[in-house]
Amino acid sequence: MESLQHLEAQLLEALKDIKTDAALNDIKAQYVGKKGHLAAAMQTMKTLPAEERPAFGQAVNALKTVLLNHLDSHQKALNEAAMMARLEQEVIDVTLPGVPFEQGSKHILSQIIERIEDLFIGMGYLIKEGPEVESDLYNFEKLNLPADHPARDMQDSFYIDEHTLLRTHTSPVQVRTMLAYGGEKPVKIICPGKVYRRDDDDATHSHQFMQIEGLVVDEKTSMSDLKGTLLEVARTMFGADREIRLRPSYFPFTEPSVEVDVSCANCEGQGCSICKQTGWIEILGAGMVHDNVLKDAGYDPTKYQGFAFGMGVERIAMLAYKIEDIRHFYTNDQRFLTQFKDDQGGLEE
Ligand code: DAH
């Protein structure tokens, strides 16, 4: 009984040096484990006279509870100390400068394309796409440009094999769509996409650039529909006060063909360096779809007429934002790209 009374004091003394979970487990085993001091005390119970045993047994059990409580509170103290140490170590200094999160934005050309798409979707057009690797048949032949046609010289092309090339314009999507429609349904589409030409890159030429093609085929389609549509484009991109004018031109796939100018927004038509003192800036090519093109794509030219147009997206962007070098669009200079962040086009509604 006497040695039992010392055990609590001994344990408390021993716990003073215990700083780790492992050491605490050792002490726990030494005192309340199967081979520990309390177990040894129980063993001695056999040697006691029978009448003393119940009191001794109770005393051992009571002591066990006390010892376990001490061990438990020491464990809690260790846990708390460990937590405090971690908190101290992992402290966050909220006054340190943050790491800025760089958020990307849409490329200016994508913004312009989306803006033009929105305009045409509003007028009931569908958006169509075609392959960039195109057959000679769709890129030239079915657009009224047969193999020996001199107009093919207008577009020096990247050929992949004798009959396959990187498309030189988005016009082949016209042919693909008309063929898919089977010569019956009206067509009302625009086709944005990349095109390729064997040009040496400089401030105004790029071997790869973007176009938006437009095509309407229906039973009563006229040049005035074309003009009204293109006026909308000009005003959406360059401002509500713009005017357009049509000049006669030549494209193999349209007859008549026109080049379309927009009145210069910079000088309001007075003449400046941007419009080369003319008051007008050329923005696109267009015309009434050539009978041969309609016929080759399965449409009866005595019943259907159509208009078509094609514009360069970079050219529109360069005019709208006074960008002086087409290479800026493709060299990924952040100083250029970030100028158009979160931009709504910078253009008038
Ligand atoms: N495909 C022509 C080019 O790349 C642009 C063009 C002109 C498209 C007149 C047309 C059009 O649809 O009618 O230069």
DSSP helix/strand/coil, 230: helix
**Domain stop point among 29, 59, 89:** 89
From CA 195, how far away is CA 198, in angstroms rounded?
Answer: 11
Lowest mean pLDDT: which of 89-103, 279-293, 299-313, 335-349?
A: 335-349
Together in a domain, 46 and 137 = no
**Ligand 1 centroid, distance to 194 Cα (angstroms):** 14
Lowest mean pLDDT: which of 66-70, 211-215, 271-275?
A: 271-275
From CA 278, how far away is CA 304, in angstroms rounded?
Answer: 37
CATH number reported for the structural domain that contains residue 196 in this entry: 3.30.930.10
- Domain enclosing residue 55, as ranges: 2-89
At residue 271 the predicted structure's pLDDT band, cuts being 50, 70 and 90, is very high
**Domain stop point among 89, 118, 146:** 89
Together in a domain, 82 and 130 = no
Residues 6 or more apart in contact with residue 46 via CB below 8 angstroms: none
Q: Is 307 in the pocket of ligand 1 (CB under 6 A)?
A: no
Are the C-beta atoms of residues 282 and 230 closer than 8 Å to each other? no
Query: Which amino acid appears at position 43 of this protein?
Result: Q
Lowest mean pLDDT: which of 77-81, 189-193, 340-344?
A: 340-344
Together in a domain, 154 and 49 = no
pLDDT in tens, 218-240: 999 999 999 999 999 999 999 99
pLDDT given at position 342:
63
Task: Round to the nearest angstrom and report the end-to-end CA distance of the chain.
Answer: 98
Together in a domain, 119 and 62 = no
From CA 308, how far away is CA 115, in angstroms rounded?
Answer: 19
Q: Is residue 97 part of a domain?
A: no
Q: Say what the pTM is.
A: 0.73
Q: Is residue 101 part of a domain?
A: no
Together in a domain, 126 and 57 = no
pLDDT in tens, 124-149: 999 999 999 999 999 999 999 988 88
At residue 152 the predicted structure's pLDDT band, cuts being 50, 70 and 90, is confident
Residue 347 has pLDDT above 60, yes or no: no
Q: Is 289 in the pocket of ligand 1 (CB under 6 A)?
A: no
- Give the atom of ligand 1 at the shortest distance from the alpha carbon of 287: 13
Residue 200 has pLDDT above 50, yes or no: yes
Q: Is residue 259 part of a domain?
A: yes
Place of tokens 């070098």: 325
Q: Is residue 349 part of a domain?
A: no
Together in a domain, 154 and 256 = yes
Domain count of the chain?
2
Token pair belonging to 34: 């199967």
CA dihedral 314, 319, 324, 330 (to 10 degrees): -20
Mean pLDDT of the chain: 92
Q: Is residue 99 part of a domain?
A: no
pLDDT given at position 3:
77
- Give the atom of ligand 1 at the shortest distance from the alpha carbon of 174: 12
Together in a domain, 77 and 194 = no
CA angle 101, 103, 104 (to 5 degrees): 150
From CA 349, how far away is CA 336, in angstroms rounded?
Answer: 23
Pocket test for ligand 1, best of 309, 311, 315 (most atoms within 8 A of CB): 309
Pocket test for ligand 1, best of 143, 171, 216, 292 (most atoms within 8 A of CB): 171
Kind plus residue range of the DSSP H or E element containing 282: strand 280-289
- Taking residues 318-324, report their average pLDDT: 93
- Give the atom of ligand 1 at the shortest distance from the alpha carbon of 214: 12
From CA 221, how far away is CA 231, in angstroms rounded?
Answer: 16
Together in a domain, 204 and 242 = yes
Of the candidates 341, 311, 307, 330, the residue with the CA atom closest to the CA atom of residue 236: 311
Which residue's CA is minimally distant from atom 8 of ligand 1? Answer: 310
From CA 50, how far away is CA 285, in angstroms rounded?
Answer: 118
